[in-house]
Each structure stands twice: as C-alpha cells, then as structure tokens.
Amino acid sequence: MSPLRTDILLAIQNALLGEVEQHLRAVAFDYSASIKYIKLYFYLDRMPNEEDEEWATNVMTEFLASFSFKDFDTAQAECLFSNSKNNMLNPFSGFAFLRKEAA
C-alpha cells in the first residue's frame, strides 16, 4: 500500500523538528505513488551551499525512516534559491512548510 499524502506531510514535518533554520523559506514535495518517487524541495533565501545540501540529505534520511524501504524506489532532496513571493513558489505536490513573510 502506498503512503498517503497525510503520511508524507506528517513525516516531513517530523523530519524538520529542530532542523528549521533562518534561511529556510519553504519545503515542498513531489510524489508519485505509481513509480514510488519522492523528492523534497528546500527553498532558501540565499544560494545553497554544500552544508545546505548535506542538511537536506539528513532531513531526507529522517523522512525516509518513517516508511518501509519498499515505499520509495527513488528519493531525492534538492535545495533551491528563490526570492520570489511565497505565492509564486512551485508547490509541486504540496507544501509541508511555508515561512510567513511580509506581503
């Protein structure tokens, strides 16, 4: 049985506990049950660096710990810089975290 959207959202939020830093703007996910694919997108308010990529990989590892190894064949994490307004960010399959920002 494939993970439900709510399971994915809760697992992302759980993986983010104690991990949200000042430069994190949003976390979106892209999910396909048919091909067992999940990708987490971490929107930052600055250009990502190597430490950000390592941090994103750690968050992905925490996320995956909430599921069976059979639930996903492909799991990826990507850090993206964006200074666009929140309503212009691509949510992919949905947002799990979105920082409140001035309009």
Domains in the chain and their CATH numbers?
20-98 (3.30.70)
pLDDT of 102 reads 84
Q: How many CB atoms lie within 10 A of CB 101?
A: 10
pLDDT of 1 reads 63
pLDDT of 59 reads 98
25 pLDDT higher than 70: yes
The reported pTM is 0.95
pLDDT of 13 reads 97
Side-chain-side CA neighbours of 64 within 13 Å: the count stands at 20
Q: Which helix (H) or strand (E) holds 64?
A: helix 50-64
Share of the chain above pLDDT 90, in %: 93
Q: Which helix (H) or strand (E) holds 80?
A: strand 74-81
83 pLDDT higher than 90: yes
Which tens digit of pLDDT belongs to each residue from 33-52? 999 999 999 999 999 999 99
